A = this chain, B = another copy of it.
Amino acid sequence: MRTGIATVCLSGTLEEKLRAAAKAGFGGVEIFEADLVTSSLSPESVRSLAEDLGLGLDLYQPFRDFDSVPEELYRANLRRAEAKFKLMDRLGIETILVCSTVAAGSAKYADDDGLRAEQLHGLGELAADHGVKVAYEALAWGTFVNDFEHAWRIVADADHPNLGTCLDTFHILSRAWDTEPIERIPGEKIFFVQVADAPKLSMDVLNWSRHYRVFPGEGQFDLPKFLGHVARTGYNGPVSLEVFNDTFRQADVERTAVDAMRSLIWLEERTAKHLAALAAESGPESGSASAAAAPTPAQLAAASRAYPMSLTTLPQVAPPSGINFAEVKADAAAAGGGELERLLAQLGFEPRGEHRTKPVSLWTLGDARIILNRQQARGVAPAISALGFDVENSVTAVARALQLKAVAVPRTSQANEEVLQAVEAPDGTEVFLCQDTLWTQEFGSGSPSGGAAVARIDHINLAQPWQHYDEGVLFYSSVLALSPQPSQEVSSPAGLVRSQVMQTELVEGERAVRLALNLAPWVQADSVRGTVEDTFQEHIAVAVPDLVATARACRARKLPFLEIPENYYEDLDARFGLDPEFLATLRELDLLYDRDERGDFLHFYTATVGSVFFEMVQRIDGYDGFGAPNAPVRHAVQHAARQAK
């Protein structure tokens, strides 16, 4: 698949954009006109820079408000087009994007497709003189033409070899047009394909488009289905990203380019899976739904070969079967040093001793493993630094991650030590892909001495800087095969916190892995009382079979609980009408309570050390949430605790 990206997706100067696109491995770029107009590079310099970088210049865009105009303006538009065709010749670009007119036009043109076809034919004639191909696209908010089928009918009527159509997922899927008719367009008349994803919002398409586009896999459009239709037409040209939003334009250009490339690799795989599943459904040798749901690598490869777009396949992995460990970086010597150890002991974790060669210790409670890492932690307040996930085969899992442009974490280990494979998540968290727990043998002689009968890490809650939030969603879904859930918003004293849960499927009422990514509201430290810490707290939640018993034991060990206000319990009672004895227990132990359509949830929080705190949870009868209604209480009490310091 020929990959591409529009320069408008990236921040910085045109040269910075081209270098970043090439470095991320894109096949080509679309030159966004304003990027050229504002650049000090001459068209010839842009051309030779792209050649040096091995980057194709696949499209010049956009050319606006060409069609559906009176004769005089049509002539002026042809002159304007000719200037651009000459410019394209200097740039060495063959194809130009012409958008359907958005200017307020005379109503008499509303139904005049004949005029539009005629004017576009005229443009095709001029284009032929200059060796240019014109790709005509229906904008979702076009004055007269806003539907790709309509645009294609006009192109078909205009019937000129230098005129074809451009398909853009945003303009098609934001209007919820049926995509099946794409297959009726001859592949050779599709001159260009642009892809963008977006969250499903109910707002005007222009602002939706301008502020909320995201890369494929970060939104809610069914892009694999779209691209499947395109592949079936025989189209074999660029699949190019045209994505702009308030975040990307401000982010680092090189990392945005990598995020972008990852999204196309992800889209390619999903499209191949979609096509393989369709083939399996209708194929002679298989009619079963389960085959359709999970195509084999052979089926995937066949789907790839069957289409000229040559969809490739990545190493396949199953979703992780558990959280192997969580690591907290902490400086034992710093202020608050030793606090974490004390907290873990009070929670019932057992020290399993020091690592043989590194200043790292292991603490366990049942199957919940927490590593305290004192390496390079001098003066650093405790923070979650690494997560281990249980995978079937760590070599395959890492190979997949690297093909998805993840950065490997360099790791020094002794000859006799387990080699753990890790890659870096967008927020800097190290993600280890673990096949087993043999690595625990490298820790001292401390052996597990009971603790809770069954305990495991229930979920991890990571704070995400706003620039890397969408990137994080794509990372965890593409690299680790976690499924993103609809995002939620919870209120805190410092603003709304957007929370995105990534998790594995429900199997017999259980989920192996739950990860919550929290988009913290941005607080400017110097102008607001709350500090940045306010919004960057993260936590590790451990599931136990009897939370009340655990809480009592923790209380006996003098654990500093997060103190829950009395008002909360009165409100809880008004909302749920709880048994008075049960309510008294909740109140006594600072426990929080929630209920969903399946079952009940009991949980409590510890005080915070650095930016880390812990949660103990009990899921009853398959409760599947995270106690979100209680999040404002937690935020408010944590905020008040910081104010009191």
Which among B253, B493, B496 is the interface contact of A13 at CB below 8 angstroms? B493
Report B-chain residues with C-beta under 8 Å of the C-beta of A202.
Answer: 203-204, 207
User: Is A178 in contact with chain B by the CB < 8 A criterion?
Assistant: no
- Of A79-87, A262-270, A314-322, the stretch lying at the interface with chain B is A79-87
Report B-chain residues with C-beta under 8 Å of the C-beta of A489.
Answer: 210
- Of A109-117, A545-553, A632-640, the stretch lying at the interface with chain B is A632-640
Report B-chain residues with C-beta under 8 Å of the C-beta of A573.
Answer: 83
Nearest CB of chain B from residue A354's CB, rounded to whole Å? 34
Specify the chain B residue showing the minimal Cβ separation from A38. Answer: B636
Report B-chain residues with C-beta under 8 Å of the C-beta of A201.
Answer: 203-204, 207
CA distance A467 to B495 in the complex (A): 12
User: Is A445 in contact with chain B by the CB < 8 A criterion?
Assistant: no
Within 8 A of B (CB), among A190-210: 201-204, 207, 210
Which among B11, B43, B79 is the interface contact of A495 at CB below 8 angstroms? B11
Which among B38, B80, B491, B567 is the interface contact of A565 at CB below 8 angstroms? B38
Which among B83, B210, B527, B567 is the interface contact of A42 at CB below 8 angstroms? B567
User: Is A593 in contact with chain B by the CB < 8 A criterion?
Assistant: no
Report B-chain residues with C-beta under 8 Å of the C-beta of A12.
Answer: 493, 529-530, 639, 643
CB atoms of B521 and A249 under 8 A apart? yes
Specify the chain B residue showing the minimal Cβ separation from A87. Answer: B570
CB atoms of A84 and B574 under 8 A apart? yes
CA distance A643 to B573 in the complex (A): 60
- Of A29-37, A127-135, A276-284, A329-337, the stretch lying at the interface with chain B is A29-37
CA distance A283 to B75 in the complex (A): 58
CB atoms of B636 and A39 under 8 A apart? yes
User: Is A487 in contact with chain B by the CB < 8 A criterion?
Assistant: no
CB atoms of A529 and B252 under 8 A apart? yes
Specify the chain B residue showing the minimal Cβ separation from A575. Answer: B80
Report B-chain residues with C-beta under 8 Å of the C-beta of A579.
Answer: none
From known contacts A83-B574, A574-B84, infer whether A250 and B636 are also in contact, taking CB-CB under 8 Å. no
From known contacts A40-B637, A203-B203, infer whether A250 and B522 are also in contact, taking CB-CB under 8 Å. yes
Within 8 A of B (CB), among A451-468: 465, 467
From known contacts A80-B574, A632-B38, A636-B38, infer whether A527 and B252 are also in contact, taking CB-CB under 8 Å. yes
Specify the chain B residue showing the minimal Cβ separation from A206. Answer: B202
Nearest CB of chain B from residue A84's CB, rounded to whole Å? 6
| Most chain B CB neighbours (cut-off 10 Å) among A79, A210, A496, A632 | A496
CA distance A61 to B435 in the complex (A): 53
* A507-544 Cβ-contact flags toward B at 8 Å (1 or 0): 00000000000000111100111100000000000000
CB atoms of B249 and A495 under 8 A apart? yes
From known contacts A207-B201, A574-B83, A633-B37, infer whether A528 and B567 are also in contact, taking CB-CB under 8 Å. no
CB atoms of B203 and A250 under 8 A apart? no
CA distance A204 to B201 in the complex (A): 8
CA distance A145 to B174 in the complex (A): 30
CB atoms of A640 and B13 under 8 A apart? yes
* A457-496 Cβ-contact flags toward B at 8 Å (1 or 0): 0000000010100000000000000000000010101111
Specify the chain B residue showing the minimal Cβ separation from A567. Answer: B37
CA distance A567 to B39 in the complex (A): 7
From known contacts A494-B11, A565-B39, infer whether A34 and B637 are also in contact, taking CB-CB under 8 Å. no
User: Is A251 in contact with chain B by the CB < 8 A criterion?
Assistant: yes
* A549-581 Cβ-contact flags toward B at 8 Å (1 or 0): 000000000000001011110110111010000
Report B-chain residues with C-beta under 8 Å of the C-beta of A566.
Answer: 40, 42
Report B-chain residues with C-beta under 8 Å of the C-beta of A87.
Answer: 570
Report B-chain residues with C-beta under 8 Å of the C-beta of A37.
Answer: 565, 567-568, 571, 632-633
User: Is A628 in contact with chain B by the CB < 8 A criterion?
Assistant: no
Report B-chain residues with C-beta under 8 Å of the C-beta of A495.
Answer: 11, 246, 249-250
CA distance A251 to B526 in the complex (A): 11
Binding site for B on A (CB under 8 A): 11-13, 16, 33-34, 36-43, 76, 79-80, 83-84, 87, 201-204, 207, 210, 246, 249-253, 465, 467, 489, 491, 493-496, 521-524, 527-530, 563, 565-568, 570-571, 573-575, 577, 632-633, 635-637, 639-640, 643
A to B CB contacts below 8 Å, 14 in the list: A11-B530, A13-B643, A16-B643, A33-B571, A38-B565, A39-B565, A40-B563, A40-B566, A80-B574, A87-B570, A202-B203, A246-B495, A246-B496, A249-B496
